[in-house]
Amino acid sequence: MKTTVELPESVVRKAKLLAAERQTTLRALVLKGLEHVLMEEQVNAKDRAKQLFAAMDQAPGIKAGKRFSRTEANAR
């Protein structure tokens, strides 16, 4: 898919130099950067969920029983 992105000239210049040093293309460099950011967001979401459940387990009045898998929960 083609798209247009407006970037500062200084950033594009540095990115092109880096791409040349790594013997790759600007497109490949941008793609790798976007994939990195997206993966980081997924990891952060998982960590936040783990922290939330851990906090819930410690909250008074809440008892964590058996946790259901998504399939088990949807079957109920």
Cα gap 43→10, rounded to integer Å: 31
| Dist. CA 57–CA 60, nearest whole Å | 8
Q: How far apart are CA 18 and CA 14, in angstroms?
A: 6
Q: According to the model, what pLDDT value does residue 66 have?
A: 66
Q: Return left, alpha or beta for 14; rule: phi > 0 is left, psi -120 to 50 is alpha, else beta.
A: alpha
Residues 11-61 have pLDDT tens digits of 999 999 999 999 999 999 999 999 998 888 777 778 888 888 778 777 776
* Residue at 51: amino acid letter: Q
Q: What is the pLDDT of residue 3?
A: 92
